């Protein structure tokens, strides 16, 4: 048995999925956080639950919403669970009516009853169930209340009747619904009523499907006749459909919803008067980001990283050394394990505490409902640069990892703005660059690390805005879309959800350390061990040194023209963390503190800042580049993202270093 989970964005749908299946998926507070359908298994039930992207309507506006219609057109499933925000019934029930018209059994999960109550609303659940003609279960998706009852209703096989509710669309529309039935009933199991109404709504996926079923000419003629008859009534056909649905929703609300008192000002409204204020909103966001960097570098993160460094380079390395000696392992293997794998992978794992603190703070802002306010606060700034306000959401996700950030751009409606966001997103400073920053900050900027990192993140945002303005005025001209975003009520995140969210982001970093970084460390060490003269050569005579020397002259104007820097940067194409792994292996130091001390002799503060900026901007990592190609389906744009980012990285680092020298900085 397969059950589809559908609902408006921001109704708690993914939280419900987690409670029903025991799985954890990324939870955020903005439209379209569930990028693709995700499949889980009901706890203690022999049934699958498919979590589909949030959608306000079955007529898709963005790429992620199109997943819903394609699923309804092609998938085989038995029931629909529709999660509904009890505080926003007027809007949510418009989607519910479209799902009922699909003519599969529907079960309603009525979420956020506490929020509805805070607005002075009381819902007659039995009355609502009776009028919709389907089961309605009150739930709290965040706390798991009512989820067992909802799961029972969703997987119950004894009662599979569809809803008896039928919206009367008037003589003209109903006549064409009947005509469509005779046209397609013998060719599909899908409801002719639903297909007709989606056709009138302008659902591109349904139109394409009907073209295949009945022929393009017949379908286009059918739609033209509907529009002609609707125009005789002084309206468009889609308007007639919407008004009929709206009237039914209003009738349901008047019967099933009680407003006990006038809407009172909620805590959310009071907080929003400050955090989305046109003068205070942006400074508050910047202060929060600065606070996050202080936590990460100055207050807790660096101390925790020191403890991990001591464990890896001390106790853990001693145990491995002892074990290898006891096993009488060949010296070559011992050196590979200690100086290659442990030095390379361990050099990255040292910074895990700082990365987890960063992810925890971002998760708190997301789950509290604040991040959607950030999109609203920066909308005007984004709009002036040619971006949609929704672009800020993928970009904030990009602070964690550029790959899901690129994928999250599917929530942007227009192709031009979506492509623009994808091309610019690799400039967002992901967690993979974090170990590089931490390494150089420990070496040169220990007392003001938060300010340095804040300046790098600020530079990334400024460059995104500048390049967006430039690209949208030249090669990516086009019409701008309207920015609409829903602001959820503020909530205090639960520790369990925060931990799961932090772990979900952090485990990707750990997984990369166990795969890309592990493999990269072995390859890097072998390239330092081997050379034209044979094995176990001097580091400066190794193959890695030869490779680094090819590009080091190009890097000299940027302040770091050594073969070690050149070789390290090449590894960053696999994963940006690999830059630190490469440096650990190349310089052959016992721990991160020793490496930082060595960095202070090889680099200058100005050169180190230039290096960090280069790391921020130069070519996307392999995984991000593959995702860009997948999302754009274009070799041209994928190649463009590599070439222009490399040119920009070189130009900005050149300016920073050379101008800094002119002003006497070192």
Question: What is the pLDDT, as a whole number, of residue 615?
Answer: 93
Residue 654 pLDDT > 90: yes
Q: Give the Cα separation of 569 and 610 in Å (integer).
A: 13
DSSP state of 540: G
Residue 30 pLDDT > 50: no
Instruction: Kindly give, in sequence order, each residue whose CB lies less than 8 Å from that of residue 81, ignoring residues fewer than 6 positions away.
Output: 3, 4, 5, 6, 16, 49, 106, 107, 109, 150, 154
Flag the least confident range among 58-62, 101-105, 239-243, 246-250. Answer: 58-62
Residue 609 pLDDT > 90: yes
Q: Which CATH number is 249's domain given?
A: 1.10.287.1770
* Mean pLDDT across 647-654: 94
Question: What is the pLDDT, as a whole number, of residue 479?
Answer: 62
Structural domain includes residue 267 = no
Structural domain includes residue 274 = no
Shared-domain flag, residues 388 and 431: yes
Residue that is written with structure tokens 């008896």 in the block: 164
Question: What is the pLDDT, as a whole number, of residue 160?
Answer: 60
Question: What is the pLDDT, as a whole number, of residue 486?
Answer: 66
Shared-domain flag, residues 228 and 343: no
Final residue before a domain boundary, out of 229, 259, 289: 259
| Burial call 412-430: b when 16+ CB within 10 Å, e when fewer | bbbebbbbbbbbbbbbbbb
Average pLDDT value for the chain:
82
Question: What is the pLDDT, as a whole number, of residue 161?
Answer: 65
pLDDT: which is higher, 299 or 455: 455
Q: Please, which pLDDT band fits residue 32 given cuts at 50, 70 and 90?
A: very low
Residue 447 pLDDT > 90: no
* Mean pLDDT across 519-540: 83
* Mean pLDDT across 603-622: 91
Q: Give the Cα separation of 567 and 435 in Å (integer).
A: 17
Residue 576 pLDDT > 50: yes
Shared-domain flag, residues 287 and 215: no
Shared-domain flag, residues 147 and 174: no
Residue 217 pLDDT > 70: yes
Shared-domain flag, residues 303 and 246: no
Shared-domain flag, residues 183 and 110: no
Task: Give percent of the chain with pLDDT exceeding 70.
Answer: 92
pTM (2 decimals)?
0.70
Q: Give the Cα separation of 436 and 36 in Å (integer).
A: 32
Shared-domain flag, residues 246 and 297: no
Q: How many CB atoms lie within 10 A of CB 457?
A: 19
The enclosing H or E element of 41 equals: strand 38-41
Question: What is the pLDDT, as a whole number, of residue 247?
Answer: 92
Structural domain includes residue 276 = no
Residue 451 pLDDT > 80: yes
Structural domain includes residue 454 = yes
Nearest partner of 323 among 337, 344, 309, 302, judged by Cα: 337
Final residue before a domain boundary, out of 259, 290, 310: 259
Residue 226 pLDDT > 90: no
Shared-domain flag, residues 497 and 542: yes
For residues 517 and 575, the answer to whether their CB atoms sit within 8 Å is yes
pLDDT digits (tens, 9 = 90+) for 348-388: 777 788 888 888 888 888 778 887 788 788 777 777 787 87
Structural domain includes residue 357 = yes
pLDDT digits (tens, 9 = 90+) for 158-174: 556 667 788 888 888 88
- What separation in angstroms does the CA of 71 have from each of 52, 106, 160? 9, 16, 20
Question: What is the pLDDT, as a whole number, of residue 229?
Answer: 87
Q: Give the 3-state DSSP-derived string for 238-270, with helices as H, strands as E and coil as C.
A: HHHHHHHHHHHHHHHHHHHEEECCCCCCCHHHH
Q: Please, which pLDDT band fits residue 557 given cuts at 50, 70 and 90?
A: very high
Question: What is the pLDDT, as a whole number, of residue 554?
Answer: 93
pLDDT digits (tens, 9 = 90+) for 404-438: 788 777 767 678 888 888 899 999 888 888 888 88
- Asked whether the CA dihedral 525, 531, 537, 541 is positive or negative, the reply is negative
Residue 635 pLDDT > 80: yes
Residue 138 pLDDT > 80: yes
pLDDT: which is higher, 296 or 202: 202
Residue 27 pLDDT > 50: no
Q: Please, which pLDDT band fits residue 35 given cuts at 50, 70 and 90?
A: very low
pLDDT digits (tens, 9 = 90+) for 467-489: 988 888 888 776 665 566 667 77
pLDDT digits (tens, 9 = 90+) for 301-350: 777 877 887 787 777 878 888 887 888 877 778 777 777 777 767 777 77
Task: Give percent of the chain with pLDDT exceeding 90.
Answer: 12
Q: What is the DSSP annotation of 401-460? A: -HHHHHHHGGGSSSHHHHHHHHHHGGGS--GGGHHHHHHHHHHH-GGGHHHHHHHHHHHH
Q: How many domains does the chain have?
A: 3
Structural domain includes residue 264 = no
Residue 31 pLDDT > 70: no
Instruction: Kindly give, in sequence order, each residue whose CB lies less than 8 Å from that of residue 288, ignoring residues fewer than 6 positions away.
Output: 365
Residue 106 pLDDT > 60: yes
Structural domain includes residue 165 = no
Final residue before a domain boundary, out of 111, 129, 155: 155
Note down the domain range covering 586.
281-662
- What separation in angstroms does the CA of 375 have from each of 29, 370, 395, 464, 620? 11, 9, 10, 15, 24
Which range of 29-38, 58-67, 158-167, 322-331 scores highest in mean pLDDT? It is 322-331
Question: What is the pLDDT, as a whole number, of residue 261?
Answer: 58
pLDDT digits (tens, 9 = 90+) for 239-296: 888 899 999 999 998 888 777 655 566 777 888 888 888 888 888 988 888 888 787 7
Locate all alpha helices (DSSP H) within 474-542, ordered by sequence: 495-512, 518-529
Q: Please, which pLDDT band fits residue 655 given cuts at 50, 70 and 90?
A: very high
Question: What is the pLDDT, as a whole number, of residue 264?
Answer: 60
Shared-domain flag, residues 120 and 233: no
Structural domain includes residue 208 = yes
Question: What is the pLDDT, as a whole number, of residue 265?
Answer: 65
Shared-domain flag, residues 224 and 333: no
Flag the least confident range among 59-68, 268-277, 606-615. Answer: 59-68
Shared-domain flag, residues 250 and 147: no
Ramachandran class of 12: left when φ > 0, alpha when ψ lies in -120 to 50, beta otherwise:
left
Residue 656 pLDDT > 90: yes
Shared-domain flag, residues 124 and 240: no
Phi, psi torsion values for 603, nearest 5 degrees:
-110, 170
Q: Tokens in use for 252?
A: 């349901």
Q: Which CATH number is 99's domain given?
A: 3.40.50.300
Question: What is the pLDDT, as a whole number, of residue 239?
Answer: 87
Which range of 31-40, 211-220, 409-418 scores highest in mean pLDDT? It is 211-220
């Amino acid at each position: 048995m397969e059950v589809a989970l559908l609902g408006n964005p921001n109704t708690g749908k993914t939280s419900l999925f987690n409670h029903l299946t025991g799985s954890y998926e990324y939870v955020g507070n903005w439209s379209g956080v569930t990028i693709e359908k995700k499949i889980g298994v009901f706890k203690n039930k022999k049934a699958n639950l498919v979590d589909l992207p949030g959608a306000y309507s079955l007529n898709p506006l963005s790429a992620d919403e199109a997943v819903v219609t394609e699923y309804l057109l092609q998938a085989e499933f038995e029931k629909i669970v529709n999660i509904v925000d009890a505080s926003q019934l007027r809007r949510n029930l418009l989607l519910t009516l479209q799902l009922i018209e699909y003519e599969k059994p529907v079960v309603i999960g009525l979420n956020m009853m506490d929020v509805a109550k805070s607005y002075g609303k009381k819902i007659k659940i039995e009355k609502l169930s009776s009028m919709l003609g389907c089961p309605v279960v009150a739930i709290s998706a965040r706390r798991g209340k009512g989820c067992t009852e909802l799961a029972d209703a969703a997987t119950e096989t004894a009662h599979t009747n569809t809803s008896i509710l039928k919206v009367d669309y008037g003589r003209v529309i109903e006549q064409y619904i009947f005509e469509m039935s005779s046209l397609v009933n013998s060719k599909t199991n899908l409801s002719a009523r639903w297909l007709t109404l989606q056709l009138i709504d302008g659902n591109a996926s349904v139109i394409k499907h009907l073209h295949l079923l009945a022929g393009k000419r017949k379908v286009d003629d059918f739609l033209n006749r509907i529009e002609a008859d609707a125009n005789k009534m002084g309206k468009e056909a889609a308007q007639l459909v919407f008004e009929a649905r709206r009237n039914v929703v209003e009738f349901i609300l008047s019967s099933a919803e009680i407003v006990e008192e006038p809407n009172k000002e909620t805590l959310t409204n009071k907080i929003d008067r400050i955090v989305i204020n046109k003068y205070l909103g942006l400074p508050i966001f910047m202060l929060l980001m600065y606070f996050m960097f202080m936590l990460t570098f100055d207050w807790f993160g660096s101390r925790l990283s020191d403890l991990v460094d001591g464990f890896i380079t001390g106790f853990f390395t001693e145990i491995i050394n002892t074990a290898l000696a006891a096993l009488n392992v060949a010296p070559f293997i011992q050196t590979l394990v200690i100086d290659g794998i442990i030095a390379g992978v361990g050099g990255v794992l040292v910074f895990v505490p700082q990365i987890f603190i960063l992810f925890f703070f971002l998760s708190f802002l997301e789950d509290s409902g604040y991040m959607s306010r950030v999109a609203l606060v920066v909308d005007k700034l984004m709009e002036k640069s040619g971006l949609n306000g929704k672009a800020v959401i993928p970009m904030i996700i990009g602070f964690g990892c550029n790959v899901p950030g690129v994928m999250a751009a599917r929530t942007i409606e227009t192709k031009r703005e979506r492509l623009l966001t994808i091309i610019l997103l690799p400039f967002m400073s992901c967690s993979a660059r974090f170990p590089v920053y931490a390494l150089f900050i420990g070496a040169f900027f220990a007392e003001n690390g938060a300010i340095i990192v804040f300046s790098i993140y600020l530079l990334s945002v400024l460059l995104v805005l500048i390049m967006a303005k430039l690209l949208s005025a030249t090669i990516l001209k086009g019409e701008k879309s309207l920015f609409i975003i829903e602001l959820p009520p503020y909530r205090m995140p639960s520790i369990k959800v925060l931990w799961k969210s932090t772990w979900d982001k952090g485990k990707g970093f750990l997984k990369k350390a166990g795969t890309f970084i592990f493999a990269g460390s072995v390859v890097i060490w072998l390239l330092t061990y081997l050379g034209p003269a044979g094995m176990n050569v001097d580091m400066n005579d190794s193959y890695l040194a030869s490779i680094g020397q090819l590009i080091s002259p190009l890097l000299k104007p940027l302040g770091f023209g050594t073969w070690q820097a050149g070789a390290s940067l090449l590894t960053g194409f696999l994963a940006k963390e690999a830059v630190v792994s490469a440096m650990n292996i190349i310089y052959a130091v016992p721990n991160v503190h020793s490496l930082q001390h060595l960095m202070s002799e090889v680099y200058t503060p100005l050169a180190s800042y230039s290096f960090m900026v280069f790391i921020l901007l130069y070519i996307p990592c392999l995984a991000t580049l593959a995702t860009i190609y997948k999302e754009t389906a274009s070799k041209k744009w994928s190649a463009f993202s590599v070439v222009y980012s490399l040119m920009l990285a070189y130009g900005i680092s050149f300016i920073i270093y050379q101008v800094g020298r002119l002003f006497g900085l070192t």
